[in-house]
Amino acid sequence: MPATRKKPLKKFGRRKTDGRLSAPPSYGAELIRLCAEAKEASHVLAASSAGLRNRALSAMAAALEKNRDDILFKNEIDVEAGRRAGLSAALLDRLALTPRRVTDMAQGLREIAALPDPLGEVVGDWERPNGIKVQKVRVPLGVVAMIYEARPNVTVDAAGLCLKSGNAVILRGGKEAVDSNTALAHILKAALAGVGLPAALVQLVDTTDRSVIRDLVRMDKFVDLAIPRGGEEMVNAIREMATVPVLAHGKGLCALYVDKEADLDMAEALAVNAKVQRPGVCNAMETLLVHRDVAARFLPRLVAQYVEAGVKIHGDAETRTIGGAAVLPAQPKDFDTEFLGLEAAVKVVGSLDEAVAHINLHGSHHSDAIVTRSAEAARAFLARVDSAAVFHNVSTRLHDGSAFGLGSEMGISTQKLHARGTMGVPELTTTKYIVCGSGQIRD
């Protein structure tokens, strides 16, 4: 029997001028219910043991593997709908699940379970002259709203990281992954219930009406943090409309700089990997900067590799002179573009100073790398490039939670508060003071 999509829900109710939901809200009451249940469940989880949370993560991993065929079936519905809708190759790649990707999601949950328990960690402990004892301890945030596009693996990663850190999660994925996300959320909720935790710890907002996002990020009573992960336009819109704190997953306009002291074989391998291995993701390289002293030796071999891989090259005048007809004239906007595909902007620079200045001006402060054998050049680059992660002789593709040994990630923050870079379990916690005494009062 062919699978069918749910009928779209009615439009979400508009707000009155006082900010309250209008009546009757077709999904508004459901959204309030989901958020309220998540808040109540978060109190239960915050008081749970690390062992119970880890058992839940293991149960969720096993459930994904057990239901792999159903997950892939529902995902194929989404992928086929995406093809008909004309989604780009990059978006389709983000959307698609494979047996390997399902296995990786399950393994990611097990890796999260193996991480140290962050809750209850004493990060400060002291006694005052009047005898009061003060502790600063790590606690959950509470309820995290995760808003994302295209990638159904985020459903699992977010649920796992929030569970480990003691938080409930409210998931609002994109319409292009509605069947995949619904299937995954159902499986995860059943696994939670199976170990005795509230299924409401994982909530899915399953309407495809985008206006529900506006109300979700204004649920101050229930939601403690919103994390948007997607296109720049979506992230900026959520920042503008939200009244809850927002921690944004920034765009990835990443650069790789090939220094005059670079090992050119290594530089070639890194430049190909960073651009070609998976071009539709935020830590893929978009801009390649090459020192003038090695450009004539390096660029012809790299251009040949890029042409073979199908990469469209936008080069400045020097790059075109060296690279030949395969290099298209670069426009100024190309060095400010996150291509998210098999395209790259290439520029020849005269110094490390010029490379650093270019990255700090044009980049998104996400992930940037230098290839060099010079320890002095590496130190200067790593200190002066103002990005969430900087790399020496490493592909930008390795800015990732699993690659860093963090299990998974909620996203990669390009903000500086309260978290920056890969967001794992510790970044989903906050602290509180516990103060004990024997009747002390303020004079």
Segment 141-146 mean pLDDT: 98
CA angle 313, 415, 427 (to 5 degrees): 115
Which one-letter amino acid corresponds to residue 393? N
Residue 286 contacts residue 339 (beta carbons within 8 Å): yes
pLDDT one-digit tens code per residue, 16-25? 333 333 333 4
Of residues 10 and 129, more confidently modeled: 129
Residue 6 has pLDDT above 90, yes or no: no
**In the beta sheet, which residues pair with residue 367?**
389
At 26, the pLDDT band (50, 70, 90 cuts) reads: low
400-412 per-position pLDDT tens digit: 888 898 777 888 8
Please list the residues that pair with 127 across neighbouring strands: 133
Range of weakest confidence among 136-145, 242-251, 256-265, 311-320: 242-251
**DSSP letter string, 170-203:** EEE--GGGHHHHHHHHHHHHHHHHHTTS-GGGEE
Predicted local distance difference test score (pLDDT) of residue 434: 97
Element (H, E) at 83: helix 68-85
Average pLDDT value over all residues in the chain: 92
The string of pLDDT tens digits covering residues 34-59 is 999 999 999 999 999 999 999 999 99
Alpha helices in 123-253 (DSSP H): 153-164, 178-194, 211-216, 232-241
Q: Are 151 and 95 in contact (CB under 8 A)?
A: yes
Three-class SS state of 378: helix
Residue pair 295/303 in contact by the 8 Å Cβ criterion: no
Contact yes or no for 171/146 (Cβ under 8 A):
yes
Is the predicted pLDDT of residue 8 greater than 80, yes or no? no
Total residues found in the chain within this entry: 443
Separation CA 295–CA 303 (nearest Å): 11
Read off the DSSP letter of residue 15.
B
Burial class (CB in 10 A: 0-12, 13-18, 19+), 208: middle
Question: Which domains are assigned to the chain?
Answer: 28-250 (3.40.605.10), 254-398 (3.40.309.10)
Beta strand 285-291 with 254-258 is parallel
Asked if residue 418 has a cis previous peptide bond (ω within 30° of 0), the answer is: yes
The pLDDT > 70 percentage for the chain reads 94
What's the number of CA atoms in the CB half-sphere (13 Å) around residue 234?
21
User: Per-residue confidence at 355, pLDDT binned at 50, 70, 90?
Assistant: very high
Query: What's the rounded Cα separation, in Å, for the pair 185 and 94?
Result: 18
- Whole-prediction pTM value? 0.84
**How confident is the model over 426-438, as a mean pLDDT?**
96
Report whether pLDDT(11) > 70.
no
Give the DSSP per-residue string, 282-336. TTSEEEEEEEHHHHHHHHHHHHHHHHHHT-EEEE-HHHHHHHGGGEEEPPGGGGG
Per-residue pLDDT, averaged over 148-160, amounts to 93
Please choose, from the candidates 342, 353, 330, the residue with its C-alpha nearest in 3D space to the C-alpha of residue 257: 353
pLDDT at 130: 96
Q: How many Å apart are CA 67 and CA 350, to the nearest integer?
A: 55
